[in-house]
Structure 1
Amino acid sequence: MSSGDFDLVVWDFDGVLNANIVDGRFVWADGLERDLGIDSNAFSDFVFRSGRMREVISGRLDLHDLVGPWLADQGHAINARDFVAYWWKKDARPDREIIALSERLSERLAVRQVIGTNNEQHRARYIEEDMGIGRLVERIFASGRMGVAKPDAGFFRQIEDWAGVPSDRILLIDDLGKNIASAQNLGWQVFHFTPATRAALPARLGL
């Protein structure tokens, strides 16, 4: 479809507005052992590869309650709150070029925009307030607040219901193919954001 045929843009955050993923890898933990003496592989095994993080981003488990006991069991002196603060700071890598596109959408075309992200409640608040990303959009839809995560269709339906916009007038910009496919199945327009496609995004947005 040509540019200008949408009423709402739904931005993914990590990997799109936030350039924190390199070659499919979250790079925030690269200095974890150097800075805090924490083995990044052991942490990833416990939190991510175990599937526990899925419970966190769906709002069924608080992140502090997950990492706090693990840090203590591993003999680390840092508490959950300070560890999470370190994590969020290292993970904050706003993509200035893509954020500028969002700003231009508002200024030139007055297009409605939201963020739709798989993030738990603490990081959603950090993104909104500490990073200041909340100023770009009407609302941040975060899975931990919604009780459902992408690519579940319920995630996208909540945005539709809130916006009151027909599904075929919504454009999702996301870096994960499974999220793109799910939204497309609901009739949304999609832009699969990758290093190979990012240069085409301004034209797709009519900029």
Structure 2
Amino acid sequence: MQKELAKAVVFDIGNVLIGWNPERHYDAVIGPERRKALFEAVDLHAMNDTVDRGGDLAELTATLAEATPEWRDEILMWHRDWLTMAAPAIPHSARLLRALRARGIPVFALSNFGIGTFDIACRAYPVLTEFDRKYISGHMQVIKPAAQIYEMLEADSGLSGAELLFTDDRADNIAAANARGWQTHQFTAPEGWAARLVADGYLTAEEAA
């Protein structure tokens, strides 16, 4: 028996619609060994979590660089090269988003993303402007996997539980959605997400190609 279709499909952004792998960029620029030493000495991901809660990336990197002068240039690189780290585009995922909307299925974003960095990403990747609703953590001042951010989406959209189908690359974010009764798909590649959308009846195989 085919399950009931959700009333909206919710996309994470990083590693679903666009790449997000700072380590890969640092490896290319300063080499894996120095990158490993940097990430052990400086919690850049914690700083980025603060950005995703609404902090200013330029201010936060400048403050951290001043406090950690031995890694100053590498810390500032997080701001200077941010768009290079938020790459590449994942075109198949963009096609799936557009195919869903063409079917009349509302598509939302639920993403840990800074306010300023999301604006930069939208200019670089126009597909990020095409959501029916955008739930961006920087504006919401809470990040996944905190239950509050899922609650806020439900309250704003009027949807909950099985009325939402959510894809995200991180297991902890998926687990938090599952705990609220959402339908979920852990994203590993667009082909798997496409197969799920076809299997559940949202798209035909041709539409999901």
TM range (shorter): 0.7 to 0.9
Aligned counterpart, 1:67:
61
Aligned counterpart, 1:86:
81
AA partner of residue 119 (structure 2): R
Aligned counterpart, 1:11:
11
Decide whether aligned partners of structure 1 residues 168 and 138 sit closer, same or farther in structure 2, where only a CA change above 3 A counts.
same
Decide whether aligned partners of structure 1 residues 198 and 8 sit closer, same or farther in structure 2, where only a CA change above 3 A counts.
closer
AA partner of residue 93 (structure 2): I
| Count of residues paired in the alignment | 196
Decide whether aligned partners of structure 1 residues 78 and 28 sit closer, same or farther in structure 2, where only a CA change above 3 A counts.
closer
Unaligned stretches of 5+ residues in structure 2: 204-209
The CA RMSD over aligned residues, in Å, is 2.8
Aligned counterpart, 1:102:
97
- Secondary structure at the residue paired with 1:10? strand
Structure 1 residue 11: Cα displacement:
0.2
* Residue 185 (1) aligns with residue 179 (2): yes
CA contact (8 A) 1:4 1:205 kept: no
Structure 1 residue 85: Cα displacement:
4.2
Structure 1 residue 132: Cα displacement:
1.5
* Residue 33 (1) aligns with residue 33 (2): no
CA contact (8 A) 1:175 1:193 kept: yes
From 44, 48, 51, give the equivalent of 1:48: 44
Identity %: 22
AA partner of residue 14 (structure 1): G
CA contact (8 A) 1:92 1:131 kept: no
- Secondary structure at the residue paired with 2:195? helix
Q: Runs of at least 4 residues of structure 1 off by over 6 A?
A: none
